[in-house]
Amino acid sequence: MHNPFIKLLDIIAPPLCAYCDKVLDSPSKALCEECMQLLIPVPSPTCFHCGISARPREDELPHNGDLCDTCMHFPPLYTQANAPYFYEGLLRELLPSIKYGKQEVLMHNIAPLITPFAKERILHWHDLHHISHSILVPMPMHWFDLFRRGFSAPMILAKAIQRTLPHTTSLAPMALQKVRRTPPQASLSHAARQLNLNGVLRADATHVAERHVILVDDVLTTGASANQAAQALKKAGASHIFVLTLARTPQA
């Protein structure tokens, strides 16, 4: 922490806000105070399964544990999915520019945005389901996309989470593989998204059988990818599957 070389580096090349380039007062921060205010936290109450904000109903006050209409009719294969922030505003601009602009250093800088939330959620899930250990599985990329992009955002997030819970979680990057390339989910309709993902993900039973899995991704939109991942993980014998993402869309 007090490495004089790092101190010298901070003077020569001070840490900058990942969004507005303002000089930061601490290298452990990703965003300046003003930009932190631009993040939109997902407010409670949320749907028990998918973590989307539950809309107040006319007849009763919503509370955590209610289900959204989608989960009520089509419950997902994962137990719970949660994200600290909405995929709106600053994150909607910043995340794609980091991922498609090959800004790996910036991805490392913003990864701590998920860690306090992830730590709270994982400890809560462990407590609730009497789990003593779980494995962190980053949502996989096809090798060609990984080669082209140069880094995996879910992997960077999963590593950051693992560092905050070194004794209760371990990283299992090979547990889930993407065996076929797919068109971007965002370009497809809801039905096409499901079809697009059929048989694309394969889980390795030697890593996941009878293990509790925390699936880590950068963004959750419809949850179709998370659901397909949960299906593959369950087929390979995984017990509980929880999903953590840095951001999620306000609407599924």
Q: Could you list the residues that contact Zn ion (CB under 5 A)?
A: 17, 19-20, 22, 32, 35, 47, 49-50, 68, 71
Query: C-beta of 213: minimal distance to Zn ion in Å?
Result: 19
| Residue 26, C-beta contacts closer than 8 angstroms, at least 6 positions apart | 15
Looking at beta carbons only, is 165 or 246 nearer to Zn ion? Answer: 246
Spatial contact of 194 and 223, defined as CB atoms under 8 Å apart:
no
Calpha distance 191→22 (Å, rounded): 43
Looking at beta carbons only, is 80 or 196 nearer to Zn ion? Answer: 80
Query: C-beta of 106: minimal distance to Zn ion in Å?
Result: 12
Calpha distance 32→236 (Å, rounded): 43
Looking at beta carbons only, is 75 or 173 nearer to Zn ion? Answer: 75
Query: C-beta of 17: minimal distance to Zn ion in Å?
Result: 3
Query: C-beta of 47: minimal distance to Zn ion in Å?
Result: 3
| Nearest CA among 173, 170, 168, 143 for reference residue 156 | 173
Calpha distance 56→58 (Å, rounded): 7
Looking at beta carbons only, is 17 or 224 nearer to Zn ion? Answer: 17
Spatial contact of 40 and 86, defined as CB atoms under 8 Å apart:
yes
Looking at beta carbons only, is 47 or 155 nearer to Zn ion? Answer: 47
Query: C-beta of 220: minimal distance to Zn ion in Å?
Result: 11
